Amino acid sequence: MSEAKKRIRELTRQQLDRRLDKIRGVAPQLTAPEGGWVRTLRTGLAMSQEDLGRRMGVSRQAVSQLEQREADGSVTLNALKEAAQALDCELAYVLVPRRGIGATLEARALRLASRMTGSVRHTMRLEDQEPESDLDERTRALAEELLTSPGQLWTPSLDE
């Protein structure tokens, strides 16, 4: 891959990280309330299941089933979109990484590099041949090398 493409990929990743950092701060507040968002918003609007069903073009029973599916986690995004529209809401769907994408890649590269140098580390320790700091430096260097092709960090053979 050319250096220009790598730089564009890195800039894109940094922009995504900045965007997700903003969301990560509010994500805990976005956890669905008990019973789900549809039921909570519907009752907050003092709307009956029958009223919501009429707005969605479905029966009261279909709304009840929708609310139950949301509560048990089997609802579809399309069903939520339809309910959101009928409730005059926006559906926000986002996966929020627990930490930044760059940090996730760096941690993965370091974990793989540590595993790859693990047997060397063990042998060197047994033979008392090399200072720990030198091997740590080599592990960090290997992690940096792995980060030059981040797509390879997820290769199954590296998990073994």
Q: What pLDDT does 158 receive?
A: 64
Q: What pLDDT does 122 receive?
A: 56
- What is d(CA 77, CA 94) in angstroms, rounded to the nearest whole number? 12
Q: Along the 160 residues of the chain, how does pLDDT read in single tens digits?
A: 688 888 898 899 999 999 999 999 898 888 899 999 999 999 999 999 999 999 999 999 999 999 999 999 999 999 999 999 999 999 999 898 989 998 999 999 998 998 888 766 555 555 565 555 677 888 899 999 998 888 888 887 766 5
Q: What pLDDT does 136 receive?
A: 82
Residue 64, amino acid? S
Contact between residue 99 and residue 132 where contact means Cβ atoms under 8 Å apart: no
Q: What pLDDT does 101 receive?
A: 92
Question: Does the global pTM surpass 0.85?
Answer: no
Domain range summary for the chain, segments of one domain joined by +: 32-86, 99-159
Give residues with Cβ within 8 angstroms of 157, minimum separation 6.
none
Q: What pLDDT does 116 receive?
A: 84
Check whether domain 32-86 has CATH 1.10.260, yes or no? yes
Contact between residue 140 and residue 110 where contact means Cβ atoms under 8 Å apart: yes
Q: What pLDDT does 138 receive?
A: 86
